[in-house]
A = this chain, B = another copy of it.
Amino acid sequence: MNWTGYLDANQARFTKELLDFLRIPSVSAKPENAGDVMRAARWVRDRLETAGVTGAEILPTAGHPVVLAEWMGAGPEKPTILIYGHFDVQPAEPFDLWQSPPFEPEVRDNRVWARGASDDKGGMLIPILAVEAMLKTDGRLPVNVKFFFEGQEEIGSPDLPPFVAEHADRLKADMIFSADGSQWAPGQPQIVEALKGLVSLEVHVQGAAADLHSGQHGGGVANPGMALAQILASMKSPEGQITVEGFYDDVLPLDAETRAAIARVPYDEADYLAETGAPAVLPEPGYTVRESLWARPTLEVNGMTCGWQGAGTKTVLPAQASAKITCRLVAGQSPEAVFETIRAHVAAHCPPGVTAEVTRNPGRAEPFQVPVGHNATAIAAQVLEEVYGRAPYRTRVGGSIPVMTTLLGELGVHAVMFGFGHGDENIHAPNEFFRLDAFRTGQLAYGQLMEALARG
């Protein structure tokens, strides 16, 4: 029997095993589930052993543990790949919105319904099963494979940067594939070429020493709420252009080929407006909505605080006002440099009568963009085209995935997202599910990927 035949013959068992895995409520955010996260780590370690990957280990961090394993039998002339995934899950509350209980998985409509089915237990089990199929039939893998599974992705992987730094030698690989990700749609694969970086900050405006009576002092001293509004308005045109001096300076321009690739991905404005409920789109002038969402930096007000916010009227002239802002960054930009442009802009545009200060808030990510011609990406795209019978869309993500930049920073390797979830699978929400078709397709794709990587 070849490895694809093994996959066919064992799907029923694999599905049953996925359900077992999903029964463990490995919610990393809840201290009371810490033991369950550890149980999930042991399940993963044992499952790797079952697959034929001997010597899998649970390693501690300051928080939830990591599982590492490797099969290096392909020899030094073959590439070594690192496969990433996570066995922790989001909280499942509110439970009463679930059609079946989140930790009592059910199969309905050829889908598995449970918390973590799509994000990421189904996803991270896929490469283990592909490896098992090859080891149980051929007795070997076409390439050297390392597994790196963590238990704290859903809380932002706080202990991962020091762990990866400390274990950089052991994690060293020629290519990295993340099994935490999704395809564009059933039947339509994608390659994610870039993620945005992040810098988070706060603008704080101070006027008088304390709140004043707006009748007694209005017209005498400046109003920090108005001053904050003027500062914010100086940062962005009504048409959506960021007007912070120097903000776009380091941005790598979008070349015609990339713009064409983005334009090939279907976009329906009516659908987008229906999805967001916004009265109109507002892309950066000169760019399409998709280009603006995927490939241009943003500056967004996340919150504003000033004065009286209760019911009715309070005739107060507030002493302070502040706004929280996050910027999403693209290739070429750095969080520190962008923070500095904003700090300088606010200093230059602070209106008379108040003082303004800009401070950083927690949250930082470097932008992530796969270099043009990146070998692992090219091979992944080719495999997806073979498996799906369609060329993958070249897409980008407006959000940030810190682990991608951690791996790049510590190991110097751009990870390729090679996952088989879909955007509609209710991750982080009630009634999460995973498509069994995609579960099977993913196993085939990981097998073919290893074969393609061996050919080089």
Residues of A within 8 A of B (CB): 196, 198, 200, 206-210, 212-223, 225-236, 238-240, 272, 276-284, 289, 292-293, 296, 298, 300-309, 312-319, 321, 323-324, 326, 328, 351-355, 361-363, 397-400
Contact = CB atoms under 8 A, between A and B. Distances in A.
The secondary-structure label for the interface of chain A is mixed
B298 A219 contact: yes
A398 B216 contact: yes
22 contacts: A196-B215, A207-B278, A209-B276, A210-B277, A215-B328, A219-B328, A220-B289, A226-B232, A228-B229, A229-B230, A229-B304, A232-B233, A282-B353, A300-B317, A302-B316, A302-B318, A303-B306, A307-B324, A308-B324, A313-B361, A315-B363, A315-B399
A302 B320 CA distance: 11
Nearest to A207: B278
Instruction: Please list the 6 inter-chain residue pairs (A to B) with the smallest Cβ-Cβ separation, ordered nearest first.
Output: A209-B277, A215-B399, A225-B301, A238-B351, A303-B307, A233-B233
A226 B236 contact: yes
Nearest to A215: B399
Contacts of A225: 232, 301-304, 323
Contacts of A308: 302-303, 324
Nearest to A212: B276
A220 B305 contact: no
A313 B200 contact: yes
Contacts of A219: 240, 283-284, 289, 292-293, 296, 298, 328, 398
Contact of A276 (B221, B234, B316, B399): B221
A304 B304 contact: yes
Contacts of A198: 215, 315
A315 B307 contact: no
A326 B318 contact: no
Contacts of A316: 302-303
A400 B313 CA distance: 14
Contact of A304 (B302, B307, B317, B328): B307
Nearest to A323: B225
A194 to B, nearest CB: 12
Contacts of A292: 219-220
A246 B401 CA distance: 50
Contacts of A298: 214, 218-219
A395 B124 CA distance: 77
B301 A306 contact: yes
A272 to B, nearest CB: 7
Contacts of A277: 208-210, 319
Contacts of A217: 276, 293, 398
A226 B325 CA distance: 10
A323 B323 CA distance: 13
Nearest to A312: B362
A352 B239 contact: yes
Contacts of A229: 228-233, 301, 304, 323
A279 B399 contact: no
Nearest to A297: B219
Contacts of A306: 301, 303-304, 323
B317 A218 contact: no
Given A282-B353, A324-B307, A223 B361 contact: no
Contacts of A196: 215
Nearest to A363: B313
A208 B276 CA distance: 6
A280 B352 contact: yes
Contact of A278 (B221, B236, B293, B315): B221
Given A208-B277, A219-B240, 16 more contacts: A206-B279, A215-B398, A218-B300, A218-B328, A219-B284, A219-B292, A219-B293, A220-B272, A220-B293, A225-B232, A228-B229, A229-B229, A229-B231, A233-B234, A280-B353, A303-B318
A209 B217 CA distance: 38
A241 to B, nearest CB: 11
